Amino acid sequence: MTRRRTELDREAAARRAAELRRQIAEHDRRYYLEDAPVISDAEYDALFDELLALERTYPELVTPDSPTQRVGPPELTTDFAPVRHAVPMLSLAKANERSEVREWMARMRRQLGLAEDVPIRLVCEPKYDGLSVELTYEQGRFVLGSTRGNGLVGEDVTENLRTIPSIPARLRGRGVPALADVRGEVYMPVAAFEALNRTLSEAGERTFANPRNAAAGSLRQKDPRVTASRPLAFVAHGIGRWEGGAAQHCHSRTLATLERLGFPVSDRRLVTEDLEEVERYYEELLAAREHAPYEMDGVVIKVDDYALQRELGEVSRSPRWAIAWKFPPVERTTRLLDIQVSVGRTGALTPFAILEPVVLSGARVSRATLHNEDEIRRKDIRIGDVVVVRRAGEVIPQVVAPVIERRTGRERPFVMPARCPVCGAPVERAEGEAVAYCTGARCPAQLVQRLTHFASRNAMDIDGLGEKLAQQLVERGLVSDVGDLYALREEQLLGLDRMAQKSAGNLLAAIERSRDRPLARLLYGLGIRHVGETVARALARAFPSIERLRAASEQEIAAVPGIGPVVARSVYTFFHTPDTALVLDKLARAGVRLADPVEQERARPLEGKTVVVTGRLEGWSRTEIEELLERLGARVASSVSKRTDLVIAGADPGSKLERARQLGRPVIDEAGLRQLLAQHGVPLPEEQGSPS
């Protein structure tokens, strides 16, 4: 009886193992060849771990081609010549919990016969979420570069790697080895990834799911010129062969050597003998992850001493002397329960996903953006699908892709409603436009968003007027446009939720203070379609009063530098709509400033210069510094290029600074900026008194 059951179990296990191998092979293909995975790393790991467990229980089920017996994918067809790694490129054992890291330490101690109190020196580095490559240098010259491939054989991507600015073509300084294999990670900085996806999406092309896929897709291009156009970076984290140079004895020294030879290495590395310090490092890195300029998916902990590394050796696919302590996943799958539509201030309808809640990078997520109808169609996302959801950095959670394999046939495609879900007015989508709009002139949802936008920090900056309050003002019929805000009275406010005398007083005072904002903020605050902060400032410069702007023809508006025909049309139409006239009259009657004071000829020391600001400045908010720079004549750009004249780098500057350095563009910090302003007699923020 018992034997029979075991036989059945074994059969079921064999079937399951075969199924798991099939699935893993499929996901490998998608991941390595198509750079378009449909499941998250965590789910892939779960499949893999399940197979490992089965094979451990039934060792006779292990097949030579099982994914557990190798690193990476099996023979996959490829466009690149194979490269055999002289020293195999191994993988890393994983830990999810600190207890697993402790067990790993204990295992090493047992194997090395070391007591508790004998220290083992460890090196910690971020685990970069990119793809690993090997760079071979002969006599200091970069001669061959390859991907990891299956760990033994990778792909020849030399010409593509040559286009990455942070990979040195030649090694510098003393002690250049005769032959060296330098290993590391190719990745795409987060900001560059977002910019690339924006460009791809505007061109109607397929976007990348995450920076790792973007890096892989960019590196595995047949045409190196395409790779060259993609902002890739490299960071070194180890070596293979190392001959004819000073022998390397430990990892930390190797990293220092690599740095001296011209390779970027992690600037956050930690060398320690104290496991508690490792744990603190993990926590710090985890906290820094959201704002880091590149993606990391954990911490790699390595035994520093090469002699100890050799003694520990490796087991199947990973060394015993290293471990990857993973961060909680930023990507997971969950069920898409519904797609609903929100109404923005311009009436734009944005579909968003209602999800079965999942925890992503530590936060519970039950909603995610879906951008627009075309994007949903392009990605073939359907209601009821199991979808991959991603939340990285500060970005709003996104639905990345559906998991087609898990379709049941009951999924429904999304259809944009024909009528606004809030006011019932017809929905319109213009030819060639990606966005559908609610046409209701009195749509309360639009009004709530318009009020919130008007009051927002970079617009009229009315402290305390957020979406919840705006909602109540609209529901109670207290305001029907932004002009009505200035007629609000204390007794009207007192009836609202959580509105006591003090908060009502504060709100009225905040509204009062907003009467005197620069014209550009008012223009931005009015929520004219296509008018963002930059356009608003360009308009205010060209037409320093509402009166002049109202009197301008469409052609005159289109003649303003930085303003195209679509924007001009939208601005002109806005100012020639009866509703606008009503609002502007109310604002004028309420004493809201509708013109900028005439500026005396001031020094414009940055006339014609293109300036990029990155990182946090102490003295100015982002809007304030952009306003200031533009007043000084600069054009403020969002990304660094060869045409950038100056980069102003504040705290935590990120990849723009890196790019500026790569391109050799001049960089100044906040102190440098203050100096520059002082030289031209521009008052510094402290001297202007505290901002209101």
For the bound state, the minimum distance from the C-beta of residue 457 to ligand IVH, rounded and expressed in Å, comes to 38
Residue type, 6: T
Our CB check for ligand IVH shows the closer of 320 and 345 to be 320
Query: Which residue from 35, 43, 125, 331 is in contact with ligand IVH, where contact means CB under 6 A?
Result: 125
Residue type, 611: V
User: Is 150 a residue that touches ligand IVH (CB under 6 A)?
Assistant: no
| Long-range Cβ contacts of 670-674 (<8 Å, 24+ apart) | 670/617, 670/618, 670/619, 672/648, 673/617, 673/648, 674/619
Instruction: For 201, list phi and psi in degrees, rounded to 5.
Output: -65, -40
What residues are paired with 334 via a beta bridge?
387
What residues are paired with 517 via a beta bridge?
none
Query: Which residue from 25, 42, 90, 286 is in contact with ligand IVH, where contact means CB under 6 A?
Result: 90
Measured CA to CA, the distance from residue 305 to residue 481 in angstroms comes to 70
Residue type, 330: V
User: Per the structure block, which two tokens stand in for 657?
Assistant: 């600074």
The span of 8-16, 86-94, 430-438, 530-538 binding ligand IVH (CB under 6 A) equals: 86-94
Our CB check for ligand IVH shows the closer of 105 and 536 to be 105
For the bound state, the minimum distance from the C-beta of residue 442 to ligand IVH, rounded and expressed in Å, comes to 55
Measured CA to CA, the distance from residue 390 to residue 370 in angstroms comes to 12
Q: 153 to each of 70, 225, 497, how far by Cα in Å?
A: 11, 25, 67
For the bound state, the minimum distance from the C-beta of residue 94 to ligand IVH, rounded and expressed in Å, comes to 8
Our CB check for ligand IVH shows the closer of 301 and 360 to be 301
User: Per the structure block, which two tokens stand in for 373?
Assistant: 């109808």
Q: Which residue is nearest to ligand IVH (CB)?
A: 132
Q: Annotated catalytic residue: which of 127, 302, 326, 656?
A: 127
For the bound state, the minimum distance from the C-beta of residue 89 to ligand IVH, rounded and expressed in Å, comes to 6
For the bound state, the minimum distance from the C-beta of residue 207 to ligand IVH, rounded and expressed in Å, comes to 24
How many CB atoms are closer than 10 A to CB 472? 17
For the bound state, the minimum distance from the C-beta of residue 259 to ligand IVH, rounded and expressed in Å, comes to 14
For the bound state, the minimum distance from the C-beta of residue 305 to ligand IVH, rounded and expressed in Å, comes to 15
The span of 21-29, 88-96, 510-518, 670-678 binding ligand IVH (CB under 6 A) equals: 88-96
User: Is 91 a residue that touches ligand IVH (CB under 6 A)?
Assistant: yes
The span of 89-97, 380-388, 514-522, 600-608 binding ligand IVH (CB under 6 A) equals: 89-97
Q: Exposed, middle or buried: residue 222 (CB in 10 Å: 0-12, 13-18, 19+)?
A: exposed
Measured CA to CA, the distance from residue 151 to residue 87 in angstroms comes to 9
Our CB check for ligand IVH shows the closer of 90 and 682 to be 90
User: Per the structure block, which two tokens stand in for 667?
Assistant: 């960089």
Binding string, residues 520-559; x marks residues near ligand IVH by CB under 6 A: ----------------------------------------
Our CB check for ligand IVH shows the closer of 130 and 483 to be 130
Site for ligand IVH in 56-85 (CB under 6 A): none
Active site residue 222: no
For the bound state, the minimum distance from the C-beta of residue 212 to ligand IVH, rounded and expressed in Å, comes to 10
What residues are paired with 340 via a beta bridge?
352
CB-based burial, 90-106: b 16+ in 10 Å, e otherwise? bbbbbbbeeeebeebbe
Query: Which residue from 132, 227, 254, 534 is in contact with ligand IVH, where contact means CB under 6 A?
Result: 132
> Which residue intervals of 553-654 are DSSP H helices?
554-558, 565-575, 578-589, 622-631
For the bound state, the minimum distance from the C-beta of residue 322 to ligand IVH, rounded and expressed in Å, comes to 5
Our CB check for ligand IVH shows the closer of 185 and 626 to be 185
Q: Count the site residues for ligand IVH by CB under 6 A.
A: 15
Query: Which residue from 32, 104, 128, 414 is in contact with ligand IVH, where contact means CB under 6 A?
Result: 128
486 sits in which H/E element: none
Measured CA to CA, the distance from residue 346 to residue 446 in angstroms comes to 6
Query: Which residue from 37, 145, 149, 238 is in contact with ligand IVH, where contact means CB under 6 A?
Result: 238
299 sits in which H/E element: strand 296-303
255 sits in which H/E element: helix 251-261
For the bound state, the minimum distance from the C-beta of residue 122 to ligand IVH, rounded and expressed in Å, comes to 13
Our CB check for ligand IVH shows the closer of 111 and 342 to be 111
User: Is 237 a residue that touches ligand IVH (CB under 6 A)?
Assistant: yes
Handedness of CA 166, 169, 173, 178 (dihedral sign): positive
Site for ligand IVH in 287-346 (CB under 6 A): 300, 319, 322, 324
Site for ligand IVH in 350-409 (CB under 6 A): none
Q: Roughly how many angstroms between the first and final C-alpha of the chain, as a whole number?
A: 83
Q: By the 8 A CB rule, do 216 and 266 touch? A: no
Closest CA to 436 of 449, 417, 450: 417
Our CB check for ligand IVH shows the closer of 208 and 325 to be 325
Our CB check for ligand IVH shows the closer of 128 and 281 to be 128
Our CB check for ligand IVH shows the closer of 238 and 654 to be 238
The number of helices, as runs of H, and strands, as runs of E, in the chain is 24, 26
**Which positions are annotated as active-site residues?**
127
Contact residues for ligand IVH, defined by CB under 6 A: 90-92, 125, 127-128, 132, 148, 185, 237-238, 300, 319, 322, 324
